[in-house]
Amino acid sequence: MKNKAPSLPGARVEVRLAGSGGQGLVLAGLVLAEAVGIYEGREVAMVQSYGPEARGGASKAEVIISDAPIDYPLCTSVDVLVALSQEAADAYCWDLKPGALILVDKDLVAHPPSSLAVALPFTAIARDKLKKVMVANVLALAAISELTGLVGRRSLEKALIARAPAGTEELNKRAIALGAKLAREYKTRQTGEALPELGSEDL
């Protein structure tokens, strides 16, 4: 049985982004929340972990996206889990909705919380193609966009450029393009369909 992305967007979608301190999951949560809230006009709430997690342990950000006012801003039935470290995958795999999309780093999560997890080499691609491991979180956000339709790629790009340090605009645009390409390639393997021609924005 293949993993299926949840039917998104929906009335309420819960996204949990988890990894090790320093992998930028809190920033990823902010970017996702602002992309959806500012550029797509939906209701959104975001919470993040604090404390010792910021110094290297497992950390997480939770983003609630809704078409209606959000009366409870914490995840209770997670639609999408992203885990970029084994520690985070072990610590934050509770409350997953049946059929939730589980997206993990192929090289850093040896034991995903489900055999149906989608494993993609975010960190390896960020290191080898972009020479910046720190943008693995951006690749993961782009993969969420491609696999679920939860947020548009252009909205994600606008929110990221607004948040990212000056001078990193092209790096982040390339990271979004590569993350989307990874997800498209995964979908192609699952369906057996031909991969569409890539434009210059995918390079």
pTM exceeds cut of 0.85: yes
The answer to whether position 67 is within a domain reads yes
Total domain count for the chain? 1
Q: In 3-state terms, what secondary structure has residue 48? A: strand
pLDDT in tens, 4-33: 444 455 589 999 999 998 899 999 999 999
pLDDT at position 36 is 96
pLDDT at position 6 is 47
Does the pLDDT of residue 156 top 80, yes or no? yes
Domain that holds residue 20: 12-192
Strands (E) in 106-152, as ranges, are 118-120
The answer to whether 35 and 150 are in contact (CB under 8 A) is no
CATH number for the domain including 117?
3.40.920.10
The answer to whether 126 and 136 are in contact (CB under 8 A) is yes
Question: Tokens in use for 44?
Answer: 């959104």
pLDDT at position 50 is 53
The answer to whether position 4 is within a domain reads no
Closest-CA residue to 20 (of 145, 97, 105, 99):
105
The answer to whether position 146 is within a domain reads yes
The answer to whether position 84 is within a domain reads yes
